[in-house]
């Protein structure tokens, strides 16, 4: 008999979840955010997204093709990088600069480390940090949302020739005779002009001509969907937002005149986008549940500190990059406690049967119970 | 995650809920005829192989001992059929290497009656006598581990056992043999539980059954009521893999963790499988040896899946042909002994059914999970494995260390020794990394290193 029998190692069945499935769910949940972003800023935002994502995909394809990085272009992770990078730069950012950012994001942020799963820093934020350092003027040039004619006309800076400085958008903006038009983001206005936007304006991003990024409410809804389907871990966004809100609340309670309200801090800038979609990037955040809390808390704290005490209006990007860098260390001291190693012979509630009355507990027998601690310090 | 665990009323955290595929739960246990040759391996259990006590050409009757136990962790074997000993020599086994076996050719028309056992009065037996009788019957754990039952029922000195826990979870998908045994042989099971309680000196017995088998709970409760046993309880526990693991079942019933590296006896408990105790309850009063067992034959590649009472030593190919899964030579397939999560793939179709086999599953090429060419990615650190590991380990980090062969660090810092290879991490891994396989290799390497290491030399006094 020469039947063909394959020999494999158990388990012989697998769960349905795959890397592609995770990535495509994240892309799908980014779609409403992107659509609203295009609705806010028009054709320039759309062009920016397409160009940046294409740059990321091309770079990914080149590196996977040459075998210098693992994974394949089909897993969709480069699309996420491109979309997140496009959402985190101004809509009128020159397209050629966006493309440079996309190439750098994949090449330096991902391929250099070996591809999907090996990257230490979030690739989108590596690209963002690069363009911030390389093009500081262009990245500060936000334009207001809901400008008339945004679906037919490009923001002039978008179409700058490669390697050329973009034209100034201020003169172009002045042509609009709309009230309250300004190119400054709410955070920059608070930092440099002392004007604080109300939280509801920020939450929906629908009123007025504010130079805000994607709408926080929409991001939160999409993130909630992902968290419920367990495509991202809810602990990280919760920890980032909780820690940032708490820090801002403490400062606000100390000196309400000097520091803005915590709600403004939470909803302005890129904090919501960063907390939901960037900090929670699986490869660059700790895997351990306790580590996720520590990591998120660190990011939230750093964000508020950078915003308040540095020369920059925005701090989410550097906070997340620092958190990424710290995550291997965080992981090391927050390893989960194995079953039966807690040292506690404490009974869980809800058990059906008591131990037998004759049973003598370890504590009564003189066993020493070690203390349960959040962190474990190893030699 | 913890919230979901709480809402479902589950006591042990993490674990997984794979699809159950318990399609044969309604199929009554059927008897299989004799195969033309029965192969009885001398090593069907954990421990040293038994010694043959028959010669080639000798006539045996069913139930006659053909091999005797060699030492404490060894059990005797009995002839599964009346016939002639045809050969004693190396034969293929399900574990891979050929092992020493006794081949018996059953007489044409031999009945499946046991011709050796003499009924006896078990009520008059002392605990020592019961243990000896269990040993003589060749009983091993029928749940899959094949640990000699007499050794498991023996309470160590200076230990005090108060509770006998009976494991009727059967948490592996596809398998239904324990379910059918609980339905059809509940009175025998209760008799076996009584005997085991007397052997261990337990004062109560608790039968834990997953709550996807309510009919089994009803059936056992009826048997308890008929026997008027006030010290035997049956308890439904939540359905979750791996509920059938010793530590998880004790957590579900009593809400305590067995300390790492300790046995249930440290909490005053002894655990046995329902199939084992039902067999004890049947064999001991009849004075017989273990010559047959109930297995589930299922899987997408089987046309007549069901639960069968199979004489030990029946070749796999015979069993499969009977269940409507003839092996042709055209397509690839996979044959699994045991459940799909922890079962072992078989290499040879001539390998016999042994005492530890709880099921035979057949997967065709198109049923295997990587049929669509599923790739293996690097670990993306999603943390799914940590959320599913019932032992609270970190399979993600362990897997990365295993890939770099840092076996010692795995054992010392990441508690590899606590892994019992349930397969949850590999089941959920979206990157398709063979984590459990790597851990098995790592554990084997560590075991070999520990065995090869010279004992620490005694301190030399200057």
Contact flag A287-B397 (C-beta cutoff 8 Å): yes
Contacts of A342 in chain B (CB under 8 A): 257
Contact flag B345-A289 (C-beta cutoff 8 Å): no
Let me know whether A82 and A201 are in one domain.
no
Predicted pLDDT at B347: 79
A 225-284 near B (Cβ less than 8 A) = 233, 282-283
Query: How far is the alpha carbon of B325 from chain A, nearest alpha carbon, in Å?
Result: 12
Q: Specify the number of domains making up chain A.
A: 2
| Residues forming beta bridges with residue B333, ordered by sequence position | A5, B364
Q: What's the sign of the alpha-carbon dihedral A110, A115, A116, A120?
A: negative
* C-alpha distance from residue B441 to each of A9, A154, B436 (Å): 11, 60, 9
Selected for mutation to probe chain B from A11, A118, A352 (highest B CB count within 10 Å) is A11
* C-alpha distance from residue A248 to each of A193, A242, A278, A295, A305 (Å): 19, 10, 21, 18, 9
Let me know whether A133 and A30 are in one domain.
yes
Confidence of residue B371 (pLDDT cuts 50, 70, 90): low
What b/e readout covers A134-173, taking b as 16+ CB neighbours within 10 angstroms? ebeebbebbbbbbbeebeeeebbbbebeeeeebeebeebb
Given a contact cutoff of 8 angstroms between Cβ atoms, the answer to whether B357 and B329 are in contact is no
Could you check whether B2-25+118-286 and B32-109+291-367 share the same CATH topology?
Answer: no
* pLDDT tens track, chain A, 379 positions: 456 777 888 888 888 888 888 999 999 999 999 998 888 888 888 999 999 999 999 999 998 888 777 777 778 889 999 999 999 888 888 899 999 999 999 999 988 888 888 889 999 999 999 998 998 888 877 777 777 777 778 887 777 778 777 777 777 776 665 555 555 677 777 777 666 677 766 766 665 555 566 778 888 999 999 998 888 889 999 999 999 999 999 988 988 877 888 888 888 778 888 999 999 988 899 999 899 999 999 999 999 888 888 877 778 899 999 999 999 999 988 888 888 776 555 555 556 676 665 555 444 444 444 454 555 555 4
Contact flag B204-A356 (C-beta cutoff 8 Å): yes
- Domain assignment present for A347: no
Q: What are the structural domain ranges in chain B?
A: 2-25+118-286, 32-109+291-367, 384-450
Let me know whether A278 and A134 are in one domain.
no
Phi and psi angles of residue A183, each rounded to the nearest 5 degrees, phi first:
-85, 0
Given a contact cutoff of 8 angstroms between Cβ atoms, the answer to whether B206 and A356 are in contact is no
Closest CA to B361 of B329, B311, B323: B323
Contact flag B329-A2 (C-beta cutoff 8 Å): yes
Give CA–CA dist B3/B23, Å, rounded.
31
Does A68 touch chain B if contact means CB atoms closer than 8 Å?
Answer: no
| Residues forming beta bridges with residue A115, ordered by sequence position | A70
Contact flag B343-A12 (C-beta cutoff 8 Å): yes
Whether B149 has a pLDDT exceeding 80, the answer reads yes
Phi and psi angles of residue A56, each rounded to the nearest 5 degrees, phi first:
-65, -45
Give the residue on A whose Cα is nearest the Cα of B1.
Answer: A230
- Domain assignment present for A129: yes
Confidence of residue B294 (pLDDT cuts 50, 70, 90): very high
Of A367 and B181, more confident: B181
Let me know whether A184 and A331 are in one domain.
yes
What mean pLDDT do residues B195-201 have?
91
Closest CA to B313 of B83, B9, B20: B83
Let me know whether A135 and A185 are in one domain.
no
Query: How far is the alpha carbon of A169 from chain B, nearest alpha carbon, in Å?
Result: 41
Whether B246 has a pLDDT exceeding 90, the answer reads no
* C-alpha distance from residue B328 to each of A271, A311, B303, B337 (Å): 62, 75, 14, 19
Does B18 touch chain A if contact means CB atoms closer than 8 Å?
Answer: yes
Contacts of A76 in chain B (CB under 8 A): none
- Domain assignment present for A326: yes
Among A168, A195, A212, which residue terminates a domain?
A168
B419-435 confidence digits (pLDDT tens) = 888 999 999 999 888 89
| Residues forming beta bridges with residue B364, ordered by sequence position | B333
The ipTM of this complex is 0.83
- Domain assignment present for A141: yes
Does B247 touch chain A if contact means CB atoms closer than 8 Å?
Answer: yes
Contacts of B237 in chain A (CB under 8 A): 352
- Look at residue B30 and give its three-state secondary structure: strand
Strand ranges across the sheet with B65-68: B51-52, B65-68, B77-78
Fold classified for B32-109+291-367: Ubiquitin-like (UB roll) (3.10.20)
Q: Which CATH class is domain B2-25+118-286?
A: alpha beta
Predicted pLDDT at B447: 87
Helix B214-227 vs helix B186-200: angle between axes, to the nearest 10 degrees? Answer: 70
Query: How far is the alpha carbon of A280 from chain B, nearest alpha carbon, in Å?
Result: 10
- Domain assignment present for A2: no
Contact flag A21-B430 (C-beta cutoff 8 Å): yes
Given a contact cutoff of 8 angstroms between Cβ atoms, the answer to whether A214 and A29 are in contact is no
Give the residue on B whose Cα is nearest the Cα of A331.
Answer: B397
Contact flag A18-B262 (C-beta cutoff 8 Å): no
Of A179 and B389, more confident: B389
Let me know whether A93 and A189 are in one domain.
no
- Measured distance between the N- and C-terminal CA atoms of chain B, rounded to whole angstroms: 59
Among A335, A351, A371, which residue terminates a domain?
A335
- Domain assignment present for A218: yes
- Domain assignment present for A353: no
Let me know whether A252 and A297 are in one domain.
yes
Nearby residues of B228 by Cβ (< 8 Å), 6 or more positions away? none
Where residue B440 falls (left for φ over 0; alpha for ψ -120 to 50; beta otherwise) is: alpha
Confidence of residue B77 (pLDDT cuts 50, 70, 90): very high
- State which residues form the domain around A60: 18-168
Contacts of A377 in chain B (CB under 8 A): none
- Domain assignment present for A373: no
């Amino acid at each position: 008999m020469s039947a063909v029998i394959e020999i494999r190692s158990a388990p012989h069945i697998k769960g349905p979840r795959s890397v592609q499935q995770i990535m495509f769910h994240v892309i799908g949940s980014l779609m409403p955010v992107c659509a609203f972003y295009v609705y806010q800023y028009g054709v320039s935002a759309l062009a920016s997204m397409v160009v940046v994502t294409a740059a990321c995909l091309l770079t990914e394809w080149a590196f996977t093709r040459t075998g210098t990085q693992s994974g394949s272009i089909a897993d969709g992770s480069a699309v996420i990088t491109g979309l997140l990078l496009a959402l985190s730069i101004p809509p009128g950012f020159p397209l050629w600069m966006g493309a440079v950012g996309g190439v750098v994001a994949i090449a330096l942020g991902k391929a250099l480390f070996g591809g999907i799963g090996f990257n230490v820093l979030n690739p989108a934020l590596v690209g963002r940090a690069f363009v911030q350092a390389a093009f500081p003027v262009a990245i500060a040039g936000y334009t207001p949302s809901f400008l008339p004619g945004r679906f037919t006309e490009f923001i002039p800076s978008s179409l700058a020739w490669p390697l050329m400085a973009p034209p100034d958008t201020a003169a172009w903006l002045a042509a609009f005779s709309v009230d309250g038009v300004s190119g400054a983001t709410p955070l920059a206005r608070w930092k440099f002009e002392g004007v604080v936007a109300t939280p509801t304006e920020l939450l929906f991003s629908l009123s007025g001509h504010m130079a805000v990024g994607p709408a926080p409410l929409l991001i939160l809804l999409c993130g909630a969907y992902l968290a419920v389907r367990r495509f991202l871990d809810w602990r990280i966004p919760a920890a980032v937002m909780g820690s940032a809100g708490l820090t801002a609340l403490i400062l606000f309670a100390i000196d309400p005149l000097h520091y803005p309200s915590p709600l403004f801090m939470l909803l302005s800038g890129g904090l919501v986008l960063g907390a939901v979609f960037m900090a929670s990037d699986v490869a660059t955040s700790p895997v351990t549940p306790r580590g996720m809390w520590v990591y998120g808390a660190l990011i939230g704290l750093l964000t508020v500190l950078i915003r308040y005490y540095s020369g920059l209006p925005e701090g989410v990007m550097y906070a997340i990059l620092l958190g990424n860098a710290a995550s291997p260390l965080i992981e090391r001291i927050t390893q989960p406690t194995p079953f039966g190693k807690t040292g506690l012979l404490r009974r869980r509630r809800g058990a059906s049967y008591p131990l037998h009355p004759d049973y003598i507990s370890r504590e009564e027998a003189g066993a020493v119970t070690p203390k349960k601690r959040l962190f474990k310090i190893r030699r | 995650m913890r919230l979901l665990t709480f809402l479902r009323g589950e006591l042990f955290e993490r674990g997984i809920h794979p699809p159950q595929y318990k399609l044969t739960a309604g199929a009554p246990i059927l008897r299989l005829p004799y195969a033309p040759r029965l192969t009885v391996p001398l090593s069907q259990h954990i421990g040293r192989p038994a010694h043959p006590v028959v010669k080639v050409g000798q006539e045996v009757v069913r139930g006659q001992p053909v091999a005797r136990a060699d030492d404490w962790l060894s059990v005797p074997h009995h002839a599964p059929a009346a016939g002639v000993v045809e050969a004693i020599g190396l034969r293929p086994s399900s574990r891979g290497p050929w092992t020493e076996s006794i081949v018996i050719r059953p007489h044409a028309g031999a009945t499946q009656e046991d011709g050796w056992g003499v009924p006896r009065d078990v009520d008059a037996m002392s605990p020592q006598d019961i243990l000896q009788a269990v040993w003589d019957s060749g009983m091993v754990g029928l749940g899959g581990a094949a640990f000699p039952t007499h050794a498991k029922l023996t309470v160590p000195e200076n230990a005090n056992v108060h509770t006998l826990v009976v494991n009727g979870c059967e948490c592996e998908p596809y398998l239904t043999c324990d379910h059918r045994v609980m339905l059809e042989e509940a009175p025998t099971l209760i008799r076996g539980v009584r005997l085991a309680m007397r052997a261990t000196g337990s004062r109560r017995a608790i039968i834990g059954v997953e709550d996807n088998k309510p009919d089994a709970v009803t059936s056992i409760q009826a048997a308890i009521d008929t026997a008027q046993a006030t010290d035997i309880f049956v308890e439904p526990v939540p359905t979750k893999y791996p509920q059938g693991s010793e530590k998880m079942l004790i957590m579900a019933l009593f809400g305590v963790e067995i300390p790492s590296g300790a046995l249930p006896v440290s909490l005053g408990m002894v655990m046995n499988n329902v199939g084992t105790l039902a067999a004890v309850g049947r064999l001991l009063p009849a004075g017989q040896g273990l010559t047959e067992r109930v297995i589930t034959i299922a899987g997408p590649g089987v046309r007549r899946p069901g639960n069968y009472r199979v004489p030990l030593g029946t070749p796999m190919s015979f069993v499969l042909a009977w269940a409507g899964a003839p092996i042709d030579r055209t397509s690839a397939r996979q044959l699994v002994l045991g459940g799909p999560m922890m079962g072992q793939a078989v290499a040879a179709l001539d390998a016999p059914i042994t005492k530890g086999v709880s099921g035979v599953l057949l997967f065709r090429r198109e049923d295997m999970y990587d049929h669509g060419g599923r790739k293996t990615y690097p670990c993306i650190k999603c943390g799914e494995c940590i959320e599913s590991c019932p032992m609270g380990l970190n399979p993600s980090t362990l897997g990365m260390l295993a890939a770099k062969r840092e076996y010692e660090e795995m054992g010392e810092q990441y508690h590899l020794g606590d892994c019992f290879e349930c397969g949850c991490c590999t089941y959920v891994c979206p990157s398709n990394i063979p984590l459990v396989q790597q851990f098995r290799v790592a554990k084997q390497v560590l075991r070999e290193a520990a065995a090869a290491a010279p004992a620490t030399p005694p301190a030399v006094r200057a």
